[in-house]
Structure 1
Amino acid sequence: MSASSRSSRNSSRARSGASSRKPLAIGAGVVAAALLLGFASYTATRPDAGASPSRNAAADADTSAGPQTGVYPELEKLARRDAGDPLARGRADAPVVLIEYADFKCGYCGKFARDTEPELVKKYVEKGTLRIEWRNFPIFGEESEAAARAAWAAGQQGRFWEFHEAAYAEGAKEKGFGSGRLRELAETAGVADLDRFEKDRDGDAAEQAVRKDRDEAYGLGATSTPSFLVNGRPLAGAQPTGTFAEVIEAAVKQAAAK
């Protein structure tokens, strides 16, 4: 496929994604949570926000209160728990599922990926307490869309998390996510068949998978990245590790109570 054809196709996909922001069929009790997630996500991570991620209403709201505070069962059901999902890590039956809606061009997402996620993996995922499920939420234009589809394609060869690490490495997003650069990242990630990677990246299945994730995020009211759900509790922005730990520990208690 020529570069011009890819550009045209990417533009079409971007327009399609922008026009398909359909709300999820969620209960009325979730509306307040969805609005809070959307507002807090925007104020914490909007493109013109300051260099340091600020704490916000969604993150600060009762994270140390009772384990059921701020939890919405309808949102908890969004965890897919598919044991074969290449865009997830951790046991499918882990008591806590953290869903992350993120964009590879998002600086705050990169901060979470480099500074916080490794600690959560070591402390909770490796011990079977936590499962992390990734959702592609490209909102920064054509390169965001292309990177999302490339990450999905890497996952088809079992190298999503390696691609994720390469794409979020310090300084990686500044190099852009053009076609050649995405192939370089796939090679760095250890994707074995690069020709298949490019075919998958440009295929309909990748487009549909990314659209599904993005529509889910928009349906929740998320307007910026990163946005999270932890067993049905909204959390927005690249918060300190301690904030995530509080929310996860509360979710563990709730799961045990069940």
Structure 2
Amino acid sequence: MPTPTARPKSRKPLVFGTVVVLAAGLLGFVSYRATAPDTPSTTPAVGTAAEEDAGVHPELAKLARRDAADKLARGRTDAPVVLIEYADFKCGYCGKFARDTEPELVEKYVEDGTLRIEWRNFPIFGKESEAAARASWAAGQQGRFWEFHRAAYADGAKEKGFGEDRLRALAREAGVEDLDRFTRDTASTAATDAVARDQEQAYGIGATSTPSFLINGRPVAGAQPLSVFTRAIEAAAADAAPVGNAGEDAEGAR
């Protein structure tokens, strides 16, 4: 499993409290072959004894923001299921999930109001990872996060690197209208702080590899087969009580 870069020093103490303790299931999941989704015979799936032991943690489910103004989310704020993804743009298996699995989840569950997807930037592979994370946030400020996400995860994209010129090219490909603003936003303190908050949340629940997921508080690690996510989402939807929120779509949920 790839070794991430050192954890950045937090500007303030984590406030998760008992969440860290109850996240033992996620800690266990990210420690097993999280970067080997193509070996299902050795990878626990939702519904197996290992997954059931990890269980659903209500405290982890509360990490869902359900904020209609969240530009790095898609789907209704009152969706019965929220999938939180902690990912890195330099992570090959994150790209696999983005290309092979996520579009089907969007078509099947986001579009009918069952699922909301909330992205958390979790750059763990160095400076280019961090730059790409800030750039994705900057694209989001102009309503183009998911378009940037698609361009950055296109087959072969990460091999081209995420230098300044390349990030600007990805923003252009994503349809970001004001590229000068994009460049300023990417370099801003606001972008750095937003990425740091996501990182702190990921480290706070014990995530150490990408991609890592929470589905209504149930941890799933790695770019697992579509069937794993389907079972987890349908089980969570069956168990979910009405949220009773405003039901607004997040910006960019197309």
TM-score for both structures, normalised by structure 1: 0.84
Name the amino acid aligned to 2:16: A
1:38 to 27, 36, 39: 27
Is 1:241 paired with 2:226? yes
Please name the residue that 2:250 is paired with: none
Q: Deviations over 1:196-255 (max 9, x none)?
A: 000000000000000000000000000000000001111111011100010101101111
Q: Which residue of 1 aligns with 2:9?
A: 19
Report the equivalent of 2:249: none
* SS of the residue 2:219 aligns to: strand
User: Does structure 2 retain, via aligned residues, the 8 Å contact 1:59–1:236?
Assistant: no
Aligned-partner SS, 1:45: coil
Q: Counterpart of 2:252?
A: none
Matching residue's letter, 1:247: A
Which whole-Å CA distance do the structure 2 matches of 1:210 and 1:166 have between them?
19
- Contact map agreement 1:64 1:250 (CA 8 A) in 2: no
Gaps of 5+ in 1: 1-13
Query: CA contact under 8 A between 2:37 and 2:225: conserved in structure 1?
Result: no
Aligned partner (choices 169, 174, 189) of residue 154 of structure 2: 169
- CA distance in 1 between counterparts of 2:240 and 2:149 reads 29
Distance 1:257 1:225, change over 3 A: same
Map of 2:211 onto structure 1: 226
- Which residue number corresponds to residue 52 of structure 1? 38
> Which structure: greater helix fraction?
1
Q: Percent identity?
A: 64
Number of equivalent positions: 237
TM-score by length of 2: 0.85
C-alpha RMSD of matched pairs (Å): 2.5
Q: Give the equivalent residue in structure 1 for 2:129.
A: 144
1:146, 1:177 within 8 Å by CA — same for their partners in 2?
yes
Could you tell me how far apart the structure 2 residues matched to 1:147 and 1:53 are? 29
Shift in Å at residue 41 of structure 1?
A: 1.7
Which ranges in structure 2 are unaligned for 5 or more consecutive residues? 244-254
